[in-house]
């Protein structure tokens, strides 16, 4: 049985990629052939064999069950670290839903647990007319939310969850990600409140990752919901 789902965040820079890497490894421990797919990315910062690649795509590939070509993991990418709809306009390169779907179909042949990572938040635009969420709706993908624990996260999390539900998609649950080293006393109150108000499964909580180093042993995420 193949599992496919889309991972979004309450904003940009909320730790979607690092959470995705953890989930990919957790799935492998349960016996799945897990792979990460980044259909659209902005910013090519990793240099390998004189070629530039997107860091998120590079990490997703690194933590997948086997190495794929980065072009297969990330079929549409832009050099500039700016929103994809602006990069698309500057480079005169349209972001095609057909190409995104074709890439997903190709990578699905090689695995049975596919994590598709978005860019930014739920309503990230890919053009003046199309949003990333439009493609997710087209593909009928269930969605997982990464919530960065910070001021404003309650509002962002509830709005994101409601937008997903209003799109008639299944919301698999949410993960609380501590993106700051200093843990404010009220952060736990945020999580307690969201557990009650989001009314979707709570997958788990990820503590601050020093230097972005992932310690898989200490990260308890219940991915049986997914």
Q: What does 177-208 look like in DSSP terms, one character per residue?
A: E--SSS--TTHHHHHHHHHHHS-S-EEEEE--
Average pLDDT of the residues of the chain: 90
The structural domains of the chain, ordered by start, are 3-225 (3.40.50.300)
What are the pLDDT digits (tens) for 190-212?
999 999 999 999 999 888 876 65
Lowest mean pLDDT among 60-69, 148-157, 160-169, 217-226: 217-226
Q: What pTM value is reported for the model?
A: 0.92
Task: Indicate the helix (H) or strand (E) that contains 122.
Answer: none
What are the pLDDT digits (tens) for 123-166?
999 999 999 999 999 999 999 999 999 999 999 999 999 999 99
Confidence of residue 220 (pLDDT cuts 50, 70, 90): low
Strand ranges (E), 111-177: 113-121, 143-148, 171-177
Q: Which residue in 26, 38, 181, 220 is the catalytic one? A: 38
38 is catalytic: yes
User: CA 85 from chain center: how many Å?
Assistant: 18
Q: Please report how the helices 55-62 and 16-29 are oriented relative to each other, as an axis angle in degrees rounded to 10.
A: 10
Q: What is the predicted pLDDT for the residue at 137? A: 98
Contact 149, 190 (CB under 8 A): yes
Q: What does 100-117 look like in DSSP terms, one character per residue?
A: HHHHHHHHHTT-SEEEEE
End-to-end CA distance of the chain: 13
C-alpha distance from residue 99 to each of 44, 75, 156, 181, 223 (Å): 20, 8, 30, 39, 29
């Amino acid at each position: 049985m193949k599992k496919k789902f889309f991972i979004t965040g309450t904003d940009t820079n909320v730790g979607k990629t690092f959470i995705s890497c953890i989930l990919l490894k957790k799935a492998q421990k349960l016996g799945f052939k897990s792979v990460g797919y980044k259909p659209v990315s902005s910013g090519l910062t990793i240099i390998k064999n004189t070629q530039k690649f997107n860091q998120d795509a590079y990490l997703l590939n690194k933590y997948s069950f086997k190495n794929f070509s980065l072009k297969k993991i990330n079929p549409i990418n832009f050099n500039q670290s700016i929103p994809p709809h602006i990069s698309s306009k500057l480079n005169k390169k349209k972001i095609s839903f057909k190409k995104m779907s074709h890439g997903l179909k190709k990578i699905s042949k090689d695995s049975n647990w596919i994590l598709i990572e978005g860019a930014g938040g739920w309503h990230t635009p890919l053009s003046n007319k199309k949003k990333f969420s439009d493609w997710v709706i087209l593909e009928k993908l269930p969605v997982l939310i990464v919530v960065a624990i910070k001021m404003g996260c309650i509002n962002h999390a509830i709005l994101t969850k409601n937008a997903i539900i209003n799109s008639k998609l299944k919301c698999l649950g949410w993960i609380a990600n501590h993106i700051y080293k200093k843990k404010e006393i009220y952060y736990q109150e945020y999580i307690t409140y969201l557990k009650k108000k989001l009314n979707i499964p709570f997958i788990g909580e990820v503590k601050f990752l020093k230097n972005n180093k992932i310690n898989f042993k200490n990260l308890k995420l219940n991915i049986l919901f997914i």
